[in-house]
Amino acid sequence: MTKKTIIAGNWKMNKTNAETKELIQALVPLVKDAKCEVVCCVPFTDIVTARKAARGSNIKIGAQNVHWAEKGAFTGEISAEMLKELKVQYVLTGHSERRQYFGETDETVNLRTKAALNAGLKVIVCVGELLSEREAGKTAEVVTRQTIGALKDISKQELKRVVIAYEPVWAIGTGKTATAQDANDTIKIIRKVVRKLYGRASANSIRIQYGGSMNPKNASELMAMKEIDGGLIGGASLKPEDFAKVVNY
């Protein structure tokens, strides 16, 4: 089954509206002939500006998080319906920084993921192990638990709108990168979990990205691996030229 590679940028807490407009406008001509799907996950305050700047291009705009409730007393949170109204296509859930700094658990990641899917959005669900877990030989155990938790009660039909991003926590923002073979092997484990849950066809068709410091220098090697279907890009996504080089690997 043919899958379209997906390269998504996670801007994290960076870029004002003015900077967003400048970045997207610079990126548009650089990725216009991309063979892969191109997504920029921007801060909530930049969504409207990013969409306007990307209008008519092949760049899709995503958000970086979503709450599980439709509305209510959840100060500082954003609902899936709010994102849908802004015509966001993608949303991240379970990013390691959300887990590490803001108390996200497998359960809350699952709730957020289901809320986004219920609203018709596409979701990039992040999973990945800490350095201590990797050194203890628990990588397979951790990504298996996180994948099962994230996909709880999600139907085979809904799974078609899910992308999984494997992001080893120790490789995010550190400049460290898992070897291409290590990344491939771990993603193979994640795909095996999906196969057990949903069957071979779903496992083969789901796109699983690598999200640990992919950049212009290592993108080609990582993307040459059989199991890797794209990248979730952090720092390199904040520079149009660098992000475009990854997109056009």
Please state, in angstroms and as integers, the Cα–Cα distance from residue 57 to each residue in 32, 135, 242, following that order: 7, 43, 18
Q: Per the structure, how many domains does the chain have? A: 1
Q: Which H or E run includes 45?
A: none
Give, to the nearest 10 degrees, the angle between helix 17-31 and helix 47-54. 30
CATH number at residue 25: 3.20.20.70
**Domain ranges, residue 27:** 6-247
Between strands 37-41 and 122-127, the pairing is: unpaired
Q: What is the pLDDT along the chain (249 residues), one digit of tens a residue?
A: 578 999 999 999 999 999 999 999 999 999 999 999 999 999 999 999 999 999 999 999 999 999 999 999 999 999 999 999 999 999 999 999 999 999 999 999 999 999 999 999 999 999 999 988 988 999 999 999 999 999 999 999 999 999 999 999 887 766 676 789 999 999 999 999 999 999 999 999 999 999 988 899 999 999 999 999 999 999 999 999 999 999 999
Catalytic residues: 95, 167
Instruction: List, in sequence order, the alpha helices (H) in the chain.
Output: 17-31, 47-54, 80-85, 96-102, 106-118, 131-135, 139-150, 156-159, 180-198, 200-205, 219-223, 240-247
Where does residue 120 fall: left (phi above 0), alpha (psi -120 to 50 degrees), or beta otherwise? left
Please state, in angstroms and as integers, the Cα–Cα distance from residue 59 to each residue in 55, 66, 71, 136, 213, following that order: 8, 21, 29, 40, 21
What does the alpha-carbon distance between residue 161 and residue 122 come to, in Å, rounded to a whole number? 5
Tell me whether residue 1 is in a domain.
no
Tell me whether residue 153 is in a domain.
yes
pLDDT of residue 171: 77
pLDDT (tens digit, 9 = 90+) per residue, 99-115?
999 999 999 999 999 99
pLDDT (tens digit, 9 = 90+) per residue, 184-214?
999 999 999 999 999 999 999 999 999 988 8
**Which residue in the block uniquely carries the two structure tokens 């192990």?**
129
What does the alpha-carbon distance between residue 164 and residue 97 come to, in Å, rounded to a whole number? 16
Contact in structure between 23 and 59 (CB atoms under 8 Å): no
Tell me whether residue 227 is in a domain.
yes
User: Coil, helix or strand for 207?
Assistant: strand
pTM: 0.96
Instruction: Provide the β-strand partners of residue 8.
Output: 39, 232
